[in-house]
Structures are given as structure tokens and as C-alpha cells.
Amino acid sequence: MIAVTAQGAAFAFPVTEPRPDRPLSIAEVRKELNRLYHDAEVATDAYNAANEKVDKQSRRVTALAEDVAEGEKKLEMLKARAGAAARLQYQSGGLPPEVYLYLSDDPQQDLNDVGVAHQVQEGTTDLLIALTTTQEDLREKSEDASDQLQKLEAGRKAKANAQTEIEERISAAEKLESKLKKEELDRLLAMEQEAGAEAQSAWLSSGILKDIKAEASAQGAKALAYAILQIGKPYEWGAEGPNSYDCSGLTSQAWAAAKRPIPRTSQEQWRQLAHIDIKELRPGDLIIYHRDASHVGMYIGHGSIVHAPRPGRNVTIADAGSMYILGVVRPDK
């Protein structure tokens, strides 16, 4: 539904939110779009994290399955050997070796036979120990495999739920934007740029840049060079190149190119990487955005970042202070 207010065209809330008693203005459409794309980005982080877990769990399940198969082969072999030993003992009457000395016409030969028999007994004991150990090991690995399968299924479910959340949010945002006329889309973009410029101006007015003079490290320069080469490629949730990226897909791949692997998601990058004071910011460092650490960009210097913004946009250069800054992390510290 489209309605015209004093501020221009307006739209109804998407189905994910209760409908207000009046239509939305362009400013409110912008706010709603920001919410939807932010929620999609949060869900993308959840998807990427679940995807990583599924990959690890899948590899673990495969390895355990191979271990269990090898264990079963070994167990069958040990059982066969134990059965042969049992048959041999049965055929000898199960008498202790020293008894044969009293029954033999050739004690010296039987002394030799006794030595062999003792070796057989010791070998049988070792065989039974190996059989018991293998059975226990196989039981533990089978239980571990079962546990990992349950975790794998839970991970797949979490991944599917996150994917559904992403698709719903992006679909609602695209539906909302599709109802805008060209001049309204231009106005929406202008409002975004105005808000970003205002935030950047406030950030710069703090005098932050006058204290930032550090140069990129060797690895930071390599990571930055990789990220800059991706400018113009489209944002795609869950993507980590080479043709498209989401925000943390870009930063993680850039640092991987610099031979410094880092966590896949912006939230894990914030949690695991070294935090630094913003006054120590240098090119190649990662700026984490929003209070929930749901977005990340790479600092390139002079108050700018390179980042993958959101669905419908391309990897680009933006003002570092245009969004709420949670903090800065340094992958190579």
C-alpha cells in the first residue's frame, strides 16, 4: 500500500512488524530498511558461524566413521586370533605346560616345548588385552560419532534457520524498496549519505585523525591490497569470494591472502582478535561496527574503510565514522 504524506510517498510496514495506524514517511522507510538489513547481517553472522561448525563437525564425523571402520576390522582380526588360540588350548587339553614334564619320555624336548608354551600363553594374554582395549576404544569412538552426528544435525538446523531469517529480511527490504519511485530512491540514498557524512563529521571533529599516524604492517598492507582489489564486486550474504563477499567474508579472505587466518565472522573477529585503542589505528586494522559487532570494515587510512556494505550494494570505500564504531581489532598483533 502506498500513501502520500507531507513528506512524500509512504509505505506500510512489512509483514514482520505490526502495521502502524498511519503510513510510513520516506525517513521511516529508511529506518525500517536499516533495521531489516541490520537484522539480515546479524543472521548472516549466525549463518556463517553455523556453517563453520557444520564443516568442522562433518569432517569430525567422517574421521570418526573411518576410525570406527578400522576399529571394527581390527576387532574382527583379534577375535579370529583369539578364537584360534582358544581352539589350540582346547586341543591341548588345557593342561598347564609343566604337567607335560611328568608325562613325557623326553624331558629335554618337553622343556623346550614348555618354553614355547609359555610364549604362547603370554601371547594369548597380550591378545586378550588388545581385544579388550580395542573393544573399549571402538565403543568410545562409536559414542563420540553418535554425539557428533547429533551436533551436526543441530548445526544444520541452526544454519537453515539463519538462512530463512536472512532471506525473509532481505525479501522484506527489497519489497519495500521496490515500491519507491526513482526520485524517492534518490532521496533515500541522499538521506543515507547525509546521515553518514554527519556521523563522519562528528567523528573527525573529535580530532581523532591527528593522533593516527601509524603505517600498515607488511601483512596489513597485503591484506589491504587484496581488499581494495575487490572494490566493485557485489555483496552476497555468506560469500567469501572470489566473485562476491559479505562484510566478514571480505576481511577474513583479505587477511588469509596475507597469510594470517582470522575468524570468519565479524562477531568472532571482535571476540578473538587483539583489541587496540582507536588512536593506534593503522591501515589493515579492522573496525567493528554496531553494538552487536554485526559489521566490519578494513581501515585504509585518511578516515576511510573498504567494506562490503549490504545486499544490493558493492564492495566500496566509505567513511570510517559513518556508522557506530564498537572498536578496533588488529589481526597481526
Query: What positions carry a catalytic annotation?
Result: 247, 295, 307
Task: For residue 246, give the nearest of 307, 301, 195 by alpha carbon.
Answer: 307
Range 5-12, long-range pairs (CB < 8 A, 24+ positions): 8/184, 8/187, 9/179, 9/180, 9/181, 9/184, 11/176, 11/179, 11/180
User: Is omega for the bond preceding 242 within 30 degrees of 0, making it cis?
Assistant: yes
Phi, psi of 84 (to 5 degrees): -65, -40
d(CA 24, CA 26): 7
d(CA 12, CA 281): 43
Taking a C-beta distance cutoff of 8 angstroms, is the pair 220, 282 a contact?
yes
d(CA 212, CA 229): 24
500500500: which residue's cell?
A: 1
d(CA 123, CA 67): 25
**Which SS3 state, helix, strand or coil, does residue 5 take?**
strand
DSSP sequence for 85-128: HHHHHHHTTT--TTHHHHH-S-HHHHHHHHHHHHHHHHHHHHHH
- CA dihedral (173, 176, 179, 181) positive or negative: negative
